[in-house]
Amino acid sequence: GNSVTQMEGPVTLSEEAFLTINCTYTATGYPSLFWYVQYPGEGLQLLLKATKADDKGSNKGFEATYRKETTSFHLEKGSVQVSDSAVYFCALSDNDYKLSFGAGTTVTVRA
C-alpha cells in the first residue's frame, strides 16, 4: 500500500534560517505529491504540489522536487519567518484521489 514517512519534529529555528523537512514515500503507482500546511488555529491548506517525476512545486518561498529515483519530496525554504510557524504534512495521492499523509512536522520559528 501507499505510505509517507516524514521527518520527526518538532523543529525550532531562528528567523532567516534554512528549513528542510524530509519526506519519502512508498507507492505502487505514480502518485502525485503534496505538502499541506496547518497554521495555528486554521484549517489545512495546500502549500505546493508536484504531479510527476522531476517536477518542482513552489509557493511562498517553499520548494519541493519530486525525486522518483529516491522516492522523496523534501520541503525547503531558504529563509524562514515567524509566520512560517505551523505544522507541515507531506502527502501523496494515487489513482483513487485518496490522500495518504505523513505524521506531520511542527515547525516553530523564533524572532
Partner 1 sequence: SAVISQKPSRDICQRGTSLTIQCQVDSQVTMMFWYRQQPGQSLTLIATANQGSEATYESGFVIDKFPISRPNLTFSTLTVSNMSPEDSSIYLCSVVPSGGSRTDTQYFGPGTRLTVL
Q: Which residues bind partner 1 (CB under 8 A)?
A: 32, 34, 36, 42-46, 49, 51, 89, 93-104
Taking the least distance from each CB to partner 1, the nearer of 76 and 94 is 94
Q: Nearest approach, Cβ of 79 to partner 1 (angstroms)?
A: 26
DSSP string, the chain: --EEEE----EEEETT--EEE-EEEE-SS--EEEEEEE-TTS-EEEEEEE-STT-EEEETTEEEE-BTTTTB--EEESS--GGG-EEEEEEEE-TT--EEE---EEEEEE-
Antiparallel, parallel or unpaired: β 99-101 and 56-59 = unpaired
Taking the least distance from each CB to partner 1, the nearer of 45 and 79 is 45
Q: Nearest approach, Cβ of 46 to partner 1 (angstroms)?
A: 5
Q: Nearest approach, Cβ of 36 to partner 1 (angstroms)?
A: 8
Taking the least distance from each CB to partner 1, the nearer of 60 and 98 is 98
Taking the least distance from each CB to partner 1, the nearer of 65 and 101 is 101
